[in-house]
Amino acid sequence: MLKRIDHVGVIVDSLEEACRFLGALGLRHDRDLNVPGRLKASFYTCGEIEIEVLEIIEPAERSRRLGESSARIEHIAIEVDSLTNALSALARLGVRMQTDAPVSLDMGLNYWTVAETCDGVIYQILEVLGSQRDDTAD
């Protein structure tokens, strides 16, 4: 069921500063994501895993997700073969999702767990659709 850890999501106070830092470390910028009025994010490749740095734009959501911190790890994204099978297995453990339906975003279909139902950690469970990801790219 589990294919791999896809990325680690880090909420930052300033996306520009975070990108400058990751670029200075020599990490390859992979892509950007913009959800108008809500958030903007950049993905950097680190070995076989990506680091997603995201800045929350909407004030109430920013306060809820970042708090008084300047940055924090928010979620770990896990790619699975089948969302249906993964959700079924997680439901048997009492793990709930934040939404009733999957969110189509970026590379495929996504769910995020309710942290309180899995030891305080938010996991993004994603199924990459079709050939959206080219695993042969350098």
* Structural domain boundaries in the chain: 2-128
Q: Which strands form 49-56's sheet, in the order they lie side by side?
A: 28-35, 39-46, 49-56, 2-12, 71-80, 122-128, 108-112, 103-105
Q: Which of 64, 30, 35 is nearest to 134 (CA)?
A: 30
pLDDT band at 135 (very low <50, low <70, confident <90, very high): very low
Residue type, 6: D
The architecture in CATH of the region 2-128 reads: Roll (3.10)
What global pTM score does this model have?
0.82
pLDDT(4) > 50:
yes
Percent of residues, the chain, with pLDDT higher than 70: 94
Residue 138, pLDDT score: 35
* Predicted confidence (pLDDT) per residue in 24-79, tens digit: 999 999 999 999 999 999 999 999 999 999 999 999 999 999 888 889 999 999 99
Q: What average pLDDT does the structure give for the chain?
A: 91
Q: Which amino acid is at 9?
A: G
- Which amino acid, 136? T
CB-based burial, 30-67: b 16+ in 10 Å, e otherwise: eeeeeeeeebbbbbbbeeeebbbbbbbeeeeebeebbe
Residue 129 and residue 112: Cα distance in Å, rounded? 17
Residues 96 and 115 sit within 8 Å (Cβ to Cβ): no
Residue 6, both tokens: 């896809």
CA distance 92 to 95: 7
